Amino acid sequence: MTKREMFERLIDIVSETDVEDKDLIIEKLNKEIELVSKKRTGMTKTQKENEVLVEDVYNAIAEAGKPITVTDIYNAVKSDKITSAQKVAALVKKLVNANRVVRTQDKRSVYFTIAE
């Protein structure tokens, strides 16, 4: 059951009872339905910025021409927007999930290469 369905059922229940402030309760439930129904349009500012950064990370991996670690990618990118290796790891994960980059592990080291 979604939140919208739950609020609609609550409106039905409240409508059938003799509750104090019934109209106010129904009004509030309708407001909640409206809030739940609103969809976010487009991407957030951070998501747009990350989209560009993902391409920078992809290009750094491609330019390396060999398996490369997150630390090496971080050092290769040199961007004001990428302030840590953790940020690089998050961006690389997006590339791995999109099957654009392959992750390989050798003992304790993790390497990334361009997917073919």
pLDDT value of position 91: 93
Query: Taking all residues of the chain, what is their mean pLDDT, rounded to a whole number?
Result: 88
Give me the CATH number covering residue 53.
Answer: 1.10.10.10
Tell me, yes or no, whether 70 and 107 share the same domain: yes
Tell me, yes or no, whether 10 and 53 share the same domain: no
Tell me, yes or no, whether 89 and 107 share the same domain: yes
Which domain, by its residues, includes 109?
Answer: 45-114
Tell me, yes or no, whether 23 and 50 share the same domain: no
What number of residues does the chain have? 116
Question: Model's pTM, two decimal places?
Answer: 0.63
* Torsions phi, psi for 48 (to 5 deg): -65, -45
Tell me, yes or no, whether 25 and 52 share the same domain: no
Whether the predicted pLDDT of 101 surpasses 90: yes
Tell me, yes or no, whether 62 and 92 share the same domain: yes
Total domains present in the chain: 2
pLDDT value of position 19: 83
Tell me, yes or no, whether 71 and 100 share the same domain: yes
pLDDT tens-place string over residues 31-81: 988 888 776 667 788 888 888 899 999 999 999 889 999 999 999 888 788
pLDDT value of position 41: 65
pLDDT value of position 58: 93
* Torsions phi, psi for 103 (to 5 deg): -100, 130
Of all residues in the chain, the percent with pLDDT exceeding 90 is 51
Q: How far is CA 110 from CA 16, 32, 81, 98, 114, in A?
A: 62, 46, 23, 18, 14
